Amino acid sequence: MPHILIVEDEAAIADTLVYALQADGHSTEWVTLGSAALDQQRVRPADLIILDIGLPDISGFETCRQLRRFSEVPVMFLSARDGEIDRVVGLEIGADDYVVKPFSPREVAARVRAILKRMVPRTEAGTAVLQLDTVRMQITYRGQPLALTRHEFRLLQCLLEQPRRVFSREQLLDALGVASDVGYERTIDSHIKSLRAKLRQVAADAEPIQTHRGLGYSFSPEHA
């Protein structure tokens, strides 16, 4: 269940949002101060924050700036009047969307849905899709532990530890601790193939391991 943090000092507005979002299947938390939102996000990270610009302590803009130092959570601004925020300013400080008051709570809920859909899938708030546990030698994908061979584990570990880095087949073979000899490319390719098959059993439409023609492979969090 996606968790939404609402930061709004007007109870009547917050109430309509809580109602619309809960009707849409979200869990909600409501705070009235920017500082409380920052605290809350550290303790119980939300999947999305709806942030009023005019708050009693620090402004929504300032809250968002401080938030961005430790969180990439999507932010939707609530603006008291047209012109208080323009799209460029919003994007510059890391907002994903904004609505101007008075707004339809249903429209806000629809936009929340759209933003959450665009996000990298997460198993739960603040948790990575692919989780590496080097103590138990276990990798969990979308909450499901993967049954991997030793080589598949090492391979995926190597890719996960440096997201987006393209590893050559030779570098991956090194990570496996296997001497590279004739046919080593096919060894890696066959491990990658079986690894992908196991990942697809969890999520058929995702492609966390990307092929780079003539170069090698990388882990792409965006495609996980």
Which residues contribute to the site for Ca ion (CB under 5 A)?
9, 52, 54
What's the min distance (Å) between Cβ of 6 and Ca ion? 12
Tell me how far apart the alpha carbons of residues 24 and 202 are, in angstroms, rounded to a whole number: 26
Beta bridge partners of 145: 140
Closest distance of CB 222 from Ca ion, Å: 34
Instruction: Quote the CA–CA distance of 40 and 162 in Å, as a whole number.
Output: 29
What is the closest distance, in whole angstroms, from the C-beta atom of residue 10 to Ca ion in the complex?
6
Answer for the pair 49, 74: CB distance below 8 angstroms, yes or no. yes
Q: Calculate the CA 132 to chain-centre distance.
A: 16
User: Residue 34 corresponds to which tokens in the numbers above?
Assistant: 């920017």
**Nearest distance, CB of residue 54 and Ca ion, angstroms:** 4
CB atoms within 10 A of CB 140: 18
Q: Pick between residue 105 and residue 208 the one whose CB is nearest to Ca ion.
A: 105
Q: Which residue has the tokens 């990270």?
A: 45
**Which CB sits closer to Ca ion, 57 or 107?**
57
- Closer CB to Ca ion, residue 52 or residue 97? 52
CB of 42 to Ca ion, least distance (A): 23
Smallest distance, Ca ion to C-beta of residue 104, A: 18
Nearer to Ca ion, 58 or 116 (CB): 58
Between the CA of residue 187 and those of 10, 29, 85, 174, 207, what are the distances in Å? Answer: 62, 50, 55, 12, 20
Coil vs helix vs strand at 37 = helix
- What does each C-alpha distance from 124 to 24, 106, 142, 207 come to in angstroms? 17, 24, 9, 20
H or E segment at 111?
Answer: helix 105-118
Q: Measured from the CB atom, is 65 or 150 closer to Ca ion?
A: 65
Q: Which is nearer to Ca ion, 54 or 221 (CB)?
A: 54
